[in-house]
Chain A
Amino acid sequence: MANKKNYGMVIDTRVCVGCSACVYACKSENAVPEGYCRDWVVQETKGNFPKLTMENRSERCQHCENAPCVTYCPTRASHYAEDGTVQINRSLCTGCKACLAACPYDARYIHPDGFADKCSLCHHRIEQGLKTACVSVCPTGSLHLVDFNDPDEEAQKLMAGRIVYRQKEHAGTGPSLFWISASNKPGA
């Protein structure tokens, strides 16, 4: 396909306040069962009183390019979708949990109905041209759904000139979530 999609996210931790609206939006959008979550929020404070720094992040499956969960899945239930995301085919999933053990980001859980579950990057919404539920709700605009194959390079525009990192790159997973660090100077 000429313009195949390659979805991921650019997450601006400079503005995220760690409110977790994204978590609740996901819960209701995706009928995430009680006691589980597909995305979660981390607030990390470093330093000693009164010299402290803080970063807030909304985390979820990284939709890895080289995803151990896919590699380790014995049934192909976990697979790469056309649009660059990692998806789970529930009707192939045995609930063996190999993918849970394999994921360096602890992004998955076993749904009470017996299958592995995680962030789908709101596949069903993207298909309809909508943003994901978490992106849509976020009051600070911290979350950006991006297509890394987009010729407009929205992702590049967001990241250019800023301190950006990916998580656990040394795991060799090729994560598709990029984080604009909270340590960027104002207006960077």
Chain B
Amino acid sequence: MTATAATEIISTKINPNVVPHLHIWEWQIPLYLFLGGMAGGLLVITSIMIVLKRKFGIGPKDAGEGCPCLAIRIGSALSPILLAVGMIFLFLDLAHPLYVWAFYTTVQPTSPMSAGSWILVAFFPLAVLQAMLVNKRQLRTFDVGIVHKVLDWTEGHMTIVALVNAHIGVGIGIYTGILLSFFSARPLWSSSILGMLFLVSGISAAAALMLLLAPEEEKPIYSMIDANAIWIELVTVGLFVLGGLTGSANSSGAMMHLIGGNAVMAGIPYAYWFWGLFVGAGLLVPLLLEFLEAAGVHIKYPNVAPIMVLTGGMLLRFLIVFAGQSYHTFM
């Protein structure tokens, strides 16, 4: 007989969405969060690069005719595209997608979902505008009336557009985390650092993507951005873990569930995913590789580091979304 008083609980509940634990979001939502975070990151990086170049003359050479360098042009264009793809996943996740319009019949500032859907409304026109402005040379060749008109109107204001977009990008990045962290019923998610973590992770993933796509001569700058973002991300992860462990029984339990429990995702315990694949392979190893790169040690496969960062970034969303659901509701 055990000395401690045992508690036995039997319940008749069967709702598969919440029994044996929350089960509402599958792959669509982490992918959406990842793509959304990366779209935000791309917007932040490209906007800042535009501003830096325009205002302070820092950064790679422009492509001429007022168009920034290739990586920025690609990055700007990818930002709304990735978000749109992400939103398709979000849409796919809705149990009643035909009622998606209902998001726009009301403003619910207290609902992160509602706030998010309105931020998206602000995001698209400006992000698309920026994508158009940076690629105006190519666009003009298509010779479409309104495109000309839009470009004519806003051509002179690329810096302002970029400045605003830098903020929107940060907003989107943070929003992908806040979406989860507002749920105080879910101990792993309800951490104020989550917004920050997803923002930095989004930026580092965006930098990694741009590093992959940038022409050789533009790569060093993205390698540097990425290395810095990874640094900050590591610190943020540390804070997230510590904050969890030192928090209430709810949050420390949830954090242990993520970093040390024996619950599994795809057959592998969360702890392995978290420490080995996310922190190790997704942050530390690429950081080391970028560091070596910066120190002039050229490695054979330069794409390895950014791919690891991207994979790590995606993994983080999957881990947080899944582990947050598989830990029990707050007590």
Q: Do the two chains bind?
A: yes
Please list the residues of chain A having a beta carbon within 8 angstroms of any beta carbon in chain B.
Answer: 18, 20, 23, 35-37, 40-49, 68, 71-77, 91-98, 100-106, 108-111, 114-116, 168, 171
14 sampled A-B residue pairs with Cβ under 8 A: A35-B15, A36-B14, A41-B12, A42-B10, A42-B13, A44-B9, A46-B8, A76-B108, A94-B95, A94-B99, A97-B25, A106-B18, A106-B329, A114-B96
Known contacts A42-B9, A47-B6, A95-B97; 9 further A-B pairs (Cβ under 8 A): A37-B13, A41-B11, A42-B10, A75-B106, A75-B114, A76-B108, A94-B97, A97-B95, A98-B112
**B111 in complex: contacting residue of A35, A43, A72, A97, CB < 8 Å:** A72
**B1 in complex: contacting residue of A40, A48, A74, CB < 8 Å:** A48
Q: Does B111 contact A73, Cβ atoms closer than 8 Å?
A: yes
For residue A97, which residues in chain B have a CB less than 8 angstroms away from its CB?
A: 17, 24-25, 93, 95
**A-B pairs with lowest CB-CB distance, top 4:** A95-B95, A114-B96, A74-B114, A40-B13
**B9 in complex: contacting residue of A43, A48, A103, CB < 8 Å:** A43
Q: Does A37 contact B15, Cβ atoms closer than 8 Å?
A: yes
**B185 in complex: contacting residue of A37, A40, A68, CB < 8 Å:** A68
Determine the distance from Cα of A171 to Cα of B248 in the docked complex, in whole angstroms.
Answer: 13
B64 near A: Cβ within 8 Å? no
B110 near A: Cβ within 8 Å? yes
Q: Does B22 contact A40, Cβ atoms closer than 8 Å?
A: no
Q: Does B16 contact A35, Cβ atoms closer than 8 Å?
A: yes
**A100 in complex: contacting residue of B6, B17, B105, CB < 8 Å:** B17
Q: Does B95 contact A110, Cβ atoms closer than 8 Å?
A: yes
Determine the distance from Cα of A20 to Cα of B10 in the docked complex, in whole angstroms.
Answer: 12
Determine the distance from Cα of A137 to Cα of B95 in the docked complex, in whole angstroms.
Answer: 33
**B110 in complex: contacting residue of A44, A49, A71, A91, CB < 8 Å:** A71
Determine the distance from Cα of A103 to Cα of B103 in the docked complex, in whole angstroms.
Answer: 20
Against A, the Cβ 8 Å flags (1 = close, 0 = not) of B148-180 are 000000000000000000000000000000000
B2 near A: Cβ within 8 Å? yes
B266 near A: Cβ within 8 Å? no
Q: Does A94 contact B100, Cβ atoms closer than 8 Å?
A: yes
Q: Does A44 contact B8, Cβ atoms closer than 8 Å?
A: yes
Determine the distance from Cα of A96 to Cα of B189 in the docked complex, in whole angstroms.
Answer: 17
B14, B22, B102, most chain A CB atoms within 10 A: B102
Q: Does B5 contact A46, Cβ atoms closer than 8 Å?
A: yes
B252 near A: Cβ within 8 Å? no
For residue A76, which residues in chain B have a CB less than 8 angstroms away from its CB?
A: 105-106, 108
B186 near A: Cβ within 8 Å? yes
**A68 in complex: contacting residue of B2, B7, B11, B184, CB < 8 Å:** B184
With A43-B10, A48-B1, A74-B117 already in contact, the answer to whether A101 and B22 are too (CB < 8 A) is yes
